[in-house]
Amino acid sequence: MRPQKALDKEVISGLTKVFSSKGYEGASLQDLATAASLKKASLYHRFPNGKKEMADAVLAHLQAWVQENVFDILNDTHTKPEVRLKTAIENIGVLYDGGNRTCIFRALSMEAGMELFGQQIEDGMKVWIAVFEKIGLELKLSPKQAKEYALQTLIDIQGSLILARGLGNTGIFEKTLMNISNRYLK
Amino acid sequence: MRPQKALDKEVISGLTKVFSSKGYEGASLQDLATAASLKKASLYHRFPNGKKEMADAVLAHLQAWVQENVFDILNDTHTKPEVRLKTAIENIGVLYDGGNRTCIFRALSMEAGMELFGQQIEDGMKVWIAVFEKIGLELKLSPKQAKEYALQTLIDIQGSLILARGLGNTGIFEKTLMNISNRYLK
DNA sequence: GTCTATAGCTAGATAGAC
DNA sequence: GTCTATCTAGCTATAGAC
Q: Do A26 and B160 touch (CB under 8 A)?
A: no
A67-74 contact pairs (CB < 8 A, 24+): A69/A94, A69/A95, A70/A95, A70/A131, A71/A127, A71/A131, A74/A131, A74/A132, A74/A134, A74/A135
Q: Which residues form the domain of A172?
A: 4-185
Rounded to whole angstroms, how far apart are CA atoms A47 and A65?
A: 21
* Res B3: pLDDT: 85
Rounded to whole angstroms, how far apart are CA atoms A181 and A148?
A: 14
* Count of structural domains, chain B: 1
Condensed to tens digits (0 to 9), the pLDDT of residues A71-98 reads: 999 999 999 999 999 999 999 999 999 9
* Res B6: pLDDT: 84
Burial of A29 (0-12, 13-18, 19+ CB in 10 A): middle
Q: pTM above the 0.95 mark? A: yes
* Res B111: pLDDT: 83
Assign residue B118 the CATH number of its domain.
1.10.357.10
* C-alpha distances out from residue A30 to A20, A40, B112, B160, B178, Å: 15, 6, 15, 34, 45
Give the residue from chain B lying closest to A112, CA to CA.
Answer: B22
Interval A148-175 mean pLDDT: 98
* Res A93: pLDDT: 99
Q: Which of A139-143, B1-5, B109-113, B156-160 has the weakest average pLDDT?
A: B1-5
Rounded to whole angstroms, how far apart are CA atoms A47 and A34?
A: 15
* DSSP conformation letters of A8-29: HHHHHHHHHHHHHHHHHHH--H
Vertex A114 angle, CA A111 and A117, to 5° = 150
* Res A62: pLDDT: 98
Q: A2 falls in which pLDDT band (50, 70, 90)?
A: confident
> Beta carbon of A40 within 7 Å of strand C?
yes
Rounded to whole angstroms, how far apart are CA atoms A30 and A41?
A: 10
Condensed to tens digits (0 to 9), the pLDDT of residues B106-153 reads: 999 988 999 999 999 999 999 999 999 999 999 999 999 999 999 999
Question: Is residue B19 predicted with pLDDT exceeding 90?
Answer: yes
Question: Is residue B5 predicted with pLDDT exceeding 90?
Answer: no
Interval B93-99 mean pLDDT: 98
Which one has a higher pLDDT value, A110 or A42? A42
Condensed to tens digits (0 to 9), the pLDDT of residues A97-139 reads: 999 999 999 999 988 899 999 999 999 999 999 999 999 999 9
Q: Do A23 and B22 touch (CB under 8 A)?
A: no
B129-138 per-residue burial string, b: 16 or more CB within 10 A, e: under 16? bebbbbbbbb
* Res A5: pLDDT: 84
Rounded to whole angstroms, how far apart are CA atoms B142 and A56?
A: 47
Interval A137-166 mean pLDDT: 98
Question: Is residue B1 predicted with pLDDT exceeding 80?
Answer: no
Condensed to tens digits (0 to 9), the pLDDT of residues B159-178 reads: 999 999 999 999 999 999 99
> Beta carbon of B52 within 7 Å of strand D?
no
Rounded to whole angstroms, how far apart are CA atoms A70 and A132?
A: 10
Is A126's Cβ below 8 Å from some Cβ in B?
A: yes
Q: By the 8 A CB rule, do B40 and B33 touch?
A: yes
Nucleotide closest in space to B42 (CA vs C1'): D2
> How big is chain B, counted in residues?
186
Q: By the 8 A CB rule, do B21 and A111 touch?
A: yes
Question: Is residue B74 predicted with pLDDT exceeding 80?
Answer: yes
Chain B residues with beta carbon closer than 8 angstroms to that of A172 = 151, 155
Q: Do B26 and A25 touch (CB under 8 A)?
A: yes
Nucleotide closest in space to B48 (CA vs C1'): C13
DSSP class of residue B6 equals: S
Mean pLDDT over the full length of chain A: 97
Question: Is residue B67 predicted with pLDDT exceeding 90?
Answer: yes
